[in-house]
Structures are given as structure tokens and as C-alpha cells.
Amino acid sequence: MHMQFSKQLQAYGHWKTKMVQYIKSYQEWLLANGLNEPEDDLRTFEVIEALNSDALTVAFVAEFSRGKTELINAIFFADYQRRLLPSAAGRTTMCPTELYYDRAADKSYIRLLPIETRVEETTIAQFKQNTMFWTTIDLDTSSPEAMAEAFKEIIRVKHVSVDEAKRLGLYTDEPHSAGQAAPQQIEIPVWRHALISFPHPLLKEGLCVLDTPGLNALGNEPELTMEMIPAAQAVMFILAADTGVTKSDLDMWRHHITPHIKNEETGILVVLNKIDTLWDELKEQAAVNSSIDSQRDSTAKSLGLSDEKVFPVSAQKGLLGKVKKDTALLEKSGLARLEDFLAERVVPQKHSIVRDNVVTKMGARIESTKQVLEGRYAAAQNQLNELRSLSGKNTDVILQLLNKARDAQESYKKQVENFQTSRHVLSGQVKTVLESLSIDNFDKLISKSRGDMVDSWTTSGMKNIMKTFFDTALHQMEQVNWQANKSNELVQAVYQRFREEHDVAELKPTLFSTKKYVGQLQKLVKEAEAFRSSPVTTMTEQSFVVKKFFVSIVSHVRNIFFQAKQEAEGWARSVMTPLATRIKERKQQLDEHLENLKKIKSSREKLEEKIEELQKMSAGLEKQINTINALLEAVNSPLPSGEDESAPAKAATA
């Protein structure tokens, strides 16, 4: 039931904390052993940052009055023993609200962005960077009543002139022109966006709940549909049994939800709420159940889903059941099945995405540390064997070995020269990759599209501009990929040669690809097209929505390029690091070996001493390799189930 989801989330939070500990101690251990590289350190820091700030977002999307807010109250906040967020009959003009816990600030607050900021070209994401733009209300978390009272602020409205409402893109003449007199004053929400931070256990574990007003509503922000909702782990689309599937529900489903269905990182849950309106005490339970089943069936059909994808629930009775501790009512509300789904699918899904990221970013590095240690171990073993074979032999043999060691040093020097040359060639090639990712080029493309837009401020003109914009962006990304492939070929050739010269069969380079970014762009193209053709853009005042739409898309695409560039830069800096490390290691081994032989040559007593030293070193290395293996295992391990979250950590630091 409810516990299931919180347990899973806790286990996930626990896993993240453990991961951060492992990675930190690994980092310290690298430093202590002189095995760290500055570029890698930076990436490690990024992984830790990402784990610390990671959030699991569940977004609630529906027409107004389907019970989004009630469902949020019932699923997440019933332990306050009351209705925490304001939910009321009729159209509540609530602004999009994000509930989370601000771990960095460690504070409870409500932050509200004034509706007037809608005219700015700044995105909400950018506004979030600066608290100055927001009105902050301190939240007294000691009393649920005081909290619920404070939350009422997010639904506050005010009356403004028609002109002002138009200026804010919250009013358009068309829908009212049918015989009605134009109103004098328009009711608009006071706030554009709300951020609420308070230390609820689930929120402290990294849950973020996004409550949205109806997306079809006038004043809908493209940023919400194009950025925030697609970024959520789970999107709950809510329908109500008392209204059935209306045309407006279907529009929202088609334009704002279905574009994400193929996106494997977002789970879509369809909820048929208010099934209590079908309950009837004069009917047999079986008859009630069959009427719920048949509505579930018809809901599924109209959305083109199979029945089991639709969860029939009663948010209201579920909340009541939880508050009154009425398990029979809670059971009947169907809420538990929905929560189980969140626990069993959504949390593990999120975990595997985050784990993959850790594995991608850290795995290769840890592997490479392991290989270095194994290399040291093998070198120590070789020396040991050689020294053991020396006991009882005459000075001639030692001299022979000394010569051999000197030769090895000579050929090593040549290899270093080769390596430096390849590195030089590669850095030239990589430069062209980075140039094709230049943000300057991108900004030129934007200012051109922006100029075009002034001339065609209509939906059909918009379509063409968007097409050109995306075509150019995609073309540029493919250009980058073409350059990246050339770099990859070069890198592979360098590695190939290195493997042959240095006898390190396992050394493989990481390659750079823009595939991920091309995919993101293509996804955005689809979302943009769905949004462009949605009722919001066709019905509401063109200039306003179009402008917002464009700002949102441009900042998104720019961000994709920016990330690609950052990844490419990081890759360029670190792609040769494993080879450089090997060379450094090899040099150290050759020097040590030569030094040992010299000492033994001058004093035969040294032989036993050196053998002992090497044995000790081998034992130490074996221990270190075990530590690394445990760390690798920990990074790759699945999410512990809620029950054994106290399982002891396997990896320890040596």
C-alpha cells in the first residue's frame, strides 16, 4: 500500500547515499594512491552532484476538476490527516506547482512567481536561478492547518482590465464574441508558478510532485508541456468517472501525453478517478463492479489502451480511508493498486536510469583503476620471478638483465614519442568537432529564425520556421557526428597501435557520439509539432503563445547543443588519459626495475630484501584489487528491496 511506495523510495534514497559514499571514498583513495587525474576528478564531482540533487518527479496532468490535487493529497500527503493542498469544486485557477524539499537550502517555503513575468522572454527555468524574482512565504511546518492555510495563496486570483489580460496572453476576444458583451474585468491568477519546499519524508527522499492546471487552459505555458512534463519520471493522466472522456480530455491526451508514450524514461499512468460516483448502496457490489469495469473499458478504448493500463480509483475516498484509518474504504478506493504501480515500476525505472548514468560515468574509470592495479601486480610478479631466478647466479647474469632493462627503457622512449605525435594529431581533429558545436553558430541560427518570425506571425508561417529551425539544428548535429566519427577512427587507430606496442589487450577507448542528442532533437521535433497543432496554439492569441513557444524551444535546443559541447570537451580531454596513465606506470616500473637490479649488483644481500619487498607489495595490491572489485559490484548492484535496506555495505576502502 502506501508504505510500499515510500519504502521503495527510501531504498532508492538509501542507494544514492551509499553510492555517494562509495564514490567519495574511491576518490579519496585515488588521491591517497596518486592515481587521480584532474579531468576525471571533475567528472566524479559531477556524478556526486547529480546523485545529491537527483529528484523523482511525478507530474499530474488533466483537465481542471478531474481530481489531480485531491489525488496528490491522497497518495502523498494523507499522513497530515487532512486535505493539504487546496482542492475545490469548479475551476480552481491554480498555477503549476512543484512540491519538493530544497535540500541545498534546507528550508521550508512557498515561492511564487508573479503572473506579470509572463511577458518576459526569460524561461521559468531561468527565473528559478534567482530567488529575487519570486515572492517567498515562510512555511510553518509545525501545523498542518497553518500549512494548508498558506497553500491557499497559490490559488489566489485578481481582477484586471481586458487590456492587461490580453497583454499577459490570458484573454482573447474570440470565445466571447458570440453574442456576449465583452467583460470589463477579467479574473486572472496572481501567480504564474509556485515552488513549495517542506520536509515531508517522501520529499526529503527526493520526490518532486508537479501539479498542473488544465493544459488546455488559456495561458498554458509551452515550457510546462515541452520541458517539465517530458522530464518527469511518471505522468499521471487523470479522467473522471462523472464526466467520462470528453473532447477536451481527448485533445489533451493526443497533444500532450501521447508524444511521450514511446519515451521509455517516462511512465504514463492513466487514472479513472471519482469511481465513488458509481457506488450505489442499493445495488449489489457485483453490479457496481461491473459498471466500473465497463467505464474502465470504454475509457481504455477511447484512448487506444488496454484495460489494465487504466486505474480506477476514488481519490476522495482513498484520502478519507487513510485519514479515518478505514481499511475497507481505502481498499475500495483502488488507491493501493496505483501506489503499488508507482512503487514497482516507477521507482526501479528511475533507479536503473540513474544507475546507468553512474555506471557510464564512473564504471570505465573504476575499470581503468582496476587495470592499473592489475598491471602493477603483474609487473611485481614478473620482477619477483626474475629476482628469484637470480639467487645463486653470478654477476654476469645480473649484467645481462641490466642490459635488457636499459634496452626496454630505450624502446619505451620511442613509444612515448609515438604517443605524443598521435595525441597531437588527435587534438587537431577534435578541434573541428568542437568548432561544429560552437554556440556562436547556434546563436546565429536563432537570430535568423527570429527575424523570419517577425514576418510570419501566424500558425502556418510558424510551421515553416520551426521546420527550417529543426532541420538546420539536426543537420548541424549530424555534421558534428560526422566529425566525431573521424575522431573516433583516429582514436581507435591510436589505441590499436598502443595495444600492440604495450601488450595491453584490454585497453579500449570511449568513443564520442551525438546519437543521444540527435534523439533528443527528434523527440523535441515531435513534441513541438504536437504542441503547435494543439487547440491552445490554434485558438489562443497567436503572438503570445507563438513567442513563448519559440523561446521555450530555442532554449531547449540550445541546451542540447550546450550539453553535447560539454560532453565533447570532456571527452576530448580524457580520451587519451588511460594511455597516458599506462605510460606513466610503465615508466615507473622500468625505473624501479633498473634501480633494483643496480642495487643487487652492488650488494648481493639486497636480493632477499627486494624479494621480500615485492612480496609485500603484491599482497597489498591484491587487497586493493579486492576493494575495487567490491566497488564495481556495488555500483552495478540492483536496488535493494525495501526489506533489507540496512544490508551492510560491501565495499570498504583499503
Ligand X SMILES: Nc1nc2c(ncn2[C@@H]2O[C@H](COP(=O)(O)OP(=O)(O)O)[C@@H](O)[C@H]2O)c(=O)[nH]1
Instruction: Tell me which of Mg ion, ligand X, none is bound by residue 274, counting a contact when its beta carbon lies within the kind-specific cut-off of 5 to 8 angstroms.
Output: ligand X
Instruction: Match 535546443 to its residue by C-alpha cell.
Output: 557
Alpha helices for 456-509 (secondary structure H): 459-502
Instruction: Tell me which of ligand X, Mg ion, none is bound by residue 88, counting a contact when its beta carbon lies within the kind-specific cut-off of 5 to 8 angstroms.
Output: ligand X
User: How far is the C-alpha of 219 from the C-alpha of 193, rounded, in Å?
Assistant: 12
Residues 6+ apart with CB under 8 A from 584: none
Q: What residue type is 391 in one-letter code? A: S
CB of 131 to ligand X, least distance (A): 27
Alpha helices for 190-284 (secondary structure H): 201-204, 222-223, 247-252
Rg of the chain over all Cα atoms, to the nearest angstrom: 31
CB of 91 to ligand X, least distance (A): 7
> Measured at CB, which residue is nearest to ligand X?
67
3-state secondary structure of 631: helix
Assess 383 for contact with ligand X (CB under 6 A): no
Instruction: Tell me which of ligand X, Mg ion, none is bound by residue 89, counting a contact when its beta carbon lies within the kind-specific cut-off of 5 to 8 angstroms.
Output: ligand X
Q: State the DSSP string of 527-579.
A: HHHHHHTSHHHHHS-HHHHHHHHHHHHHHHHHHHHHHHHHHHHHHHHHTTHHH
User: How far is the C-alpha of 99 from the C-alpha of 57, rounded, in Å?
Assistant: 9
Which listed range, 273-281, 288-296, 412-420, 598-606, lies at the site for ligand X (CB under 6 A)?
A: 273-281
Assess 69 for contact with Mg ion (CB under 5 A): yes
Whether 459 and 547 have beta carbons less than 8 Å apart is answered as no
Instruction: Tell me which of ligand X, Mg ion, none is bound by residue 70, counting a contact when its beta carbon lies within the kind-specific cut-off of 5 to 8 angstroms.
Output: ligand X
Which residues, numbered 518-537, are part of the site for ligand X (CB under 6 A)?
none
Assess 276 for contact with ligand X (CB under 6 A): yes
Binding letters toward Mg ion, positions 22-61, x by CB under 5 A: ----------------------------------------
CB of 13 to ligand X, least distance (A): 28
Instruction: Tell me which of ligand X, Mg ion, none is bound by residue 216, counting a contact when its beta carbon lies within the kind-specific cut-off of 5 to 8 angstroms.
Output: none
Residue number with CB closer to ligand X (342 or 607): 342
Q: How many CB atoms lie within 10 A of CB 330?
A: 24
Residue number with CB closer to Mg ion (68 or 556): 68
Residues 6+ apart with CB under 8 A from 185: 159, 160, 161, 162
CB of 274 to ligand X, least distance (A): 4
Instruction: Tell me which of ligand X, Mg ion, none is bound by residue 614, counting a contact when its beta carbon lies within the kind-specific cut-off of 5 to 8 angstroms.
Output: none
What residues does 107 pair with on adjacent strands?
Answer: 102
User: How far is the C-alpha of 253 from the C-alpha of 552, rounded, in Å?
Assistant: 21
Residue number with CB closer to ligand X (314 or 481): 314
CB of 337 to Mg ion, least distance (A): 23
User: How far is the C-alpha of 356 from the C-alpha of 639, rounded, in Å?
Assistant: 12
CB of 191 to ligand X, least distance (A): 16
* Size, binding site for ligand X by CB under 6 A: 19
3-state secondary structure of 523: helix
User: How far is the C-alpha of 177 from the C-alpha of 209, rounded, in Å?
Assistant: 38
Assess 277 for contact with ligand X (CB under 6 A): yes
Instruction: Tell me which of Mg ion, ligand X, none is bound by residue 378, counting a contact when its beta carbon lies within the kind-specific cut-off of 5 to 8 angstroms.
Output: none
> Measured at CB, which residue is nearest to Mg ion?
69
Residue number with CB closer to ligand X (272 or 465): 272
Give the pairing type, strands 97-100 and 310-312: unpaired
Distance (Å) of CA 316 to CA 7, 264, 319, 332: 23, 31, 5, 11
CB of 266 to ligand X, least distance (A): 20
User: How far is the C-alpha of 221 from the C-alpha of 378, rounded, in Å?
Assistant: 61
CB of 338 to ligand X, least distance (A): 12
Give the pairing type, strands 234-240 and 207-211: unpaired
Residue number with CB closer to Mg ion (68 or 376): 68
Which residues, numbered 76-105, are part of the site for Mg ion (CB under 5 A)?
94
Which residues, numbered 61-100, are part of the site for ligand X (CB under 6 A)?
62, 64-70, 87-89, 92
CB of 71 to ligand X, least distance (A): 7
Distance (Å) of CA 18 to CA 22, 345, 431, 637: 6, 22, 38, 11
Which residues, numbered 171-200, are part of the site for ligand X (CB under 6 A)?
none
DSSP H/E element including 158: strand 157-161
Which listed range, 270-278, 413-421, 529-537, 607-615, lies at the site for ligand X (CB under 6 A)?
A: 270-278
Distance (Å) of CA 232 to CA 46, 59, 97, 367, 434: 21, 6, 14, 32, 31
What residues does 271 pair with on adjacent strands?
Answer: 238, 311
Binding letters toward ligand X, positions 304-323, x by CB under 6 A: ----------xxx-------
Residue number with CB closer to ligand X (269 or 453): 269
Assess 212 for contact with ligand X (CB under 6 A): no
Instruction: Tell me which of Mg ion, ligand X, none is bound by residue 586, counting a contact when its beta carbon lies within the kind-specific cut-off of 5 to 8 angstroms.
Output: none
Would you tell me which residues interact with ligand X (CB under 6 A)? 62, 64-70, 87-89, 92, 273-274, 276-277, 314-316
Chain residues that interact with Mg ion, rule: CB under 5 A: 68-69, 94
